[in-house]
Structure 1
């Protein structure tokens, strides 16, 4: 038992029905495990909360195993090495990994990756240079394959993935239409990111009509982050040979009634469109390629990113729940501690 640090973790104690509540989780104080040869102790600096985690809280078959009850929840974490028994890292090194939601993680040194603070602040490795930036990069370019002059529509366009999809599509010369849920987000997309047309789906009197006006030449690529009625409306505007990277369906993650909607098969057949679901792990062998391109665009000023940061480990659950209220502009992070 390591007496030098005081630890706290978050457990999943029951499986949510519908929207999770704080009663599904438990904060628990535990000792920090002693380091063995080849291990390091990582102090959490920033912790990522992501919509996909909702799926792992249900005991259902998926592309990734569910969280186990009464065990620590795991997710993306940027941290600082505070103790090392490995030749790979020294105290003070900053690393990223899929680690437990806790103040300190004692792990095999090979399970974390060193990050370069000279390229970007450490938090960026959980967004533009991390899971969300890479998801946008591979989903859009590998599946969507936007061409110059084509129309790309992005739902959840001000979110942690959608924000980068729109910008990368612009880099590739496409015309981009972003869909978001507040006027402030729409203004940010248009003024700060240069998105060509924006739609506030919550205030549009007729979403289908608003989309038709924003996409007079139809839709060539639809990057789908939300599913639901928004996606139903976009499907009506698909051009021949349209491509649909299916990244998320946050509109239905907490549904208890099933996710019913129009049948899209006929539309896909008539337009010969491609729809393909994907997850980032599909591209694990190519992540260095994605990071190189994203880093290049970032240093060239072609990519901007925003973070919504909640302070304090005790507010992790609140930050996670805010995802389903659309409270975040860009990546939602929890700042757990400062670097020493």
Structure 2
């Protein structure tokens, strides 16, 4: 019998195990144009925390008692679609469950890039597209720029580091703890700020004495304030996440916000779905970087569907290096 995780209660602050519950349902027959997928890899991502709140946002909130959603990779095991036969490896958005039935129009065949299936939930999936278009399109980063990226040991941040280096930029990353900082440095970062070892602002000013031209924000709070302090004239900020406030909703005071005026800063938020129609461009360029040996990745893997809440909560406690995944 198919199993899926549902939201039992809306979290207050940091989510806890009692906010989630497994639901079982009878295996449903396929309709016209539908496929049945046995999920093999499931994604947890920080944006899912916002969907657990009953508030209006760019995506609807999860409904209490109903199966949650998220990125998933699996294999077609039954099909009513001739061009998506049994055995096809696919990417879709009915994660948090072991089996998915959905229209083939909502399913994407995995591109033939010679990568592991799970890479399409991380560096070659939504996090990678977030990094790619946020850095190059939203921030307009170019060769010679000095780029600061927060959460540089995460799925998005670590990809930003590597794309920026491949495109001829100087890169400063921020990560928590010596082990993560060492890994970010191994990706090619020119300097790494250990925010657990002291002030992010002091660390960034020391790492970038000539200032920064681009900030890629995954964190908000103290990191955003540090970037404001270090920003050069006409610096560009791409804001894709503020994990600092996802649980308590309390934004930290920005002491250097007035820098926006004098330095003529451009701060732009974005959602990766803004660029989904350019996926072919992303795969082509990332494929070239992969072939040139300019990309590497790391994954933190939890085993089994039962581990989904632990994997998700680990995103907010520094429990992952690289992409956080669940192997079904």
TM-score bucket (shorter structure): over 0.9
Task: Check 1:47–1:100 CA distance in 2 against 1; reply closer, same or farther (3 A cut).
Answer: closer
1:147 Cα deviation from its structure 2 partner: 2.7
Instruction: Map residues 144-163 of structure 1 onto 2, 5 A cutoff.
Output: 144-163=139-158
Instruction: Map residues 32-43 of structure 1 onto 2, 5 A cutoff.
Output: 32-43=27-38
TM-score by length of 2: 0.97
Please state if 1:228 is matched with 2:224.
no
Partner of 2:91: 96
Give, in whole Å, the separation in 2 of the partners of 1:286 and 1:29. Answer: 37
Partner of 1:12: 7
1:123 Cα deviation from its structure 2 partner: 0.4
1:118 Cα deviation from its structure 2 partner: 5.4
Residue from 273, 283, 297 that aligns with 1:281: 273
What secondary structure, in the 3-state scheme, does the structure 1 residue paired with 2:160 have?
helix
Partner of 1:216: 209
1:262 Cα deviation from its structure 2 partner: 2.1
Residue from 34, 44, 49 that aligns with 1:49: 44
Cα deviation 1:299-322 (Å, max 9, x = unaligned): 221111111111110001110000
Give, in whole Å, the separation in 1 of the partners of 2:55 and 2:242. Answer: 16
Decide whether the 8 Å contact of 1:186 with 1:198 is kept in 2: yes
1:148 Cα deviation from its structure 2 partner: 2.4
1:265 Cα deviation from its structure 2 partner: 4.3
TM-score by length of 1: 0.94
Cα deviation 1:96-136 (Å, max 9, x = unaligned): 01114211111112211111455211001111110011000
Give, in whole Å, the separation in 1 of the partners of 2:223 and 2:237. Answer: 14
Partner of 2:300: 308
Cα deviation 1:13-62 (Å, max 9, x = unaligned): 21111001111111022211111222111001000000000000001121
Decide whether the 8 Å contact of 1:88 with 1:109 is kept in 2: no
Please state if 1:207 is matched with 2:200.
yes
Residue from 119, 125, 137 that aligns with 1:142: 137
Partner of 1:3: none
Please state if 1:82 is matched with 2:77.
yes
Unaligned runs of 5+ in 1: 1-5
Decide whether the 8 Å contact of 1:180 with 1:186 is kept in 2: yes
Decide whether the 8 Å contact of 2:2 with 2:98 is kept in 1: yes
Give, in whole Å, the separation in 2 of the partners of 1:52 and 1:216. Answer: 33
Unaligned runs of 5+ in 2: none
Please state if 1:332 is matched with 2:324.
yes
Paired residues, number: 328
